């Protein structure tokens, strides 16, 4: 592992399916061992195989075991677009319903996201941050990586103290996520509500998942740069329990 900064200790697996299996296993283990701690969840293409693997693992459990996982489930998603709600298939809320809430038979009230339809998004961000705090913070936090180094929707530049807030998305991020909006970045909402680095870094443990060759350049930056506001994911390096899972396609080699 030539360029890796030692404390990052990335785990490089053959492909995205192997990464998804590892993450699903970690999520399930955490859920069983720490049933009282909320999970921190993410959306995006990286997470689709993760939730698919989790569904398969849950379906393989006995009915009482499955019920044990379901009962008391509480999760908080990182982010949501302003202006989109669960009835819009492009919202993160709808993605969670499709990939997790419905197939697992969870009560939607157990799967929290910021309300993208709130009339006052700034107040909604404050409310959501307070809700996470009232739940005792996040246990295991799952994270994807943006091409510009964002985690959640914490766009650069971003200090590590940034808390849950409403912000304007960068052109690069709207371009990255355009595929879900008919390919046109102009169709991607301009604003989002996201948990901040403050809430993310306060989680008990972090799992950063990086797959696909499109992420190689930003992963190389993450491996090489000291923590800095220009690369929000770089602040994760300061967390004592960070797991970095990478597939061979993303690995800079």
Closest distance between ligand GLP and the C-beta of residue 102, in Å? Answer: 20
156 touching ligand GLP, by CB under 6 A: no
44, 114, 129, 189: which one binds ligand GLP (CB under 6 A) = 44
Closest distance between ligand GLP and the C-beta of residue 73, in Å? Answer: 20
154 touching ligand GLP, by CB under 6 A: no
Q: Is the CB of 69 or the CB of 84 nearer to ligand GLP?
A: 84
Token pair 């959501």 is at which residue?
128
Chain centroid, CA 133 distance in Å: 18
**What CA–CA distance (Å, rounded) separates 43 from 92?**
6
141 touching ligand GLP, by CB under 6 A: no
DSSP string, 87-105: TSTTSHHHHHIIIIIHHHT
Active site residues: 79, 148, 150, 155
Q: In degrees to the nearest 10, what's the CA dihedral of 222, 82, 167, 146? A: 10
Q: Given the rule CB under 6 A, which of 7-15, 44-52, 220-228, 242-250 is the region that contacts ligand GLP?
A: 44-52
Cα 149 to Cα 152, 174, 178, 218: the distances in Å are 10, 14, 17, 6
Nearest residue to ligand GLP, by Cβ distance, number only: 144
99 touching ligand GLP, by CB under 6 A: no
**What CA–CA distance (Å, rounded) separates 95 from 87?**
10
**Residues binding ligand GLP (CB under 6 A):** 42-46, 78-79, 144-146, 152-153, 173, 177
């Amino acid at each position: 592992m030539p360029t890796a900064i030692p404390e990052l200790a990335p785990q490089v697996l053959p492909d995205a399916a192997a990464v998804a299996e590892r993450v699903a296993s970690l999520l399930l283990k955490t859920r069983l061992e720490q049933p009282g701690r909320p999970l921190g969840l993410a959306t995006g293409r990286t997470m689709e195989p993760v939730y698919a693997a989790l569904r398969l693992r849950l379906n393989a459990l006995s009915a009482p075991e499955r019920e044990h996982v379901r009962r008391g489930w509480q999760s908080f998603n990182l982010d949501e677009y302003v202006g989109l709600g669960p009835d819009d298939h492009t919202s993160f809320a709808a993605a969670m319903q499709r990939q997790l809430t419905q197939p697992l038979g969870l009560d939607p009230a157990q799967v929290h996201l910021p309300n993208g339809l709130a009339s006052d998004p700034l107040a909604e961000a404050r409310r959501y941050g307070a809700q996470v705090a009232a739940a005792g913070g996040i246990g295991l936090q799952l994270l994807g990586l943006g091409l510009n180094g964002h985690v959640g929707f914490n766009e650069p530049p971003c200090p590590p103290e940034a808390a849950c807030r409403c912000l304007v998305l960068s052109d690069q991020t709207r371009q990255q996520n355009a595929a879900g909006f008919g390919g046109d970045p102009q169709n991607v909402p301009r604003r989002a509500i996201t948990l901040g680095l403050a809430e993310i870094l306060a989680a008990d443990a972090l799992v950063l998942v990086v797959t696909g060759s499109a992420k190689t350049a930003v992963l190389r930056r993450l491996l090489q740069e000291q923590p800095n506001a220009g690369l929000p994911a770089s602040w994760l390096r300061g967390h004592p329990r960070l797991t970095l899972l990478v597939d061979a396609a993303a690995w800079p080699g």
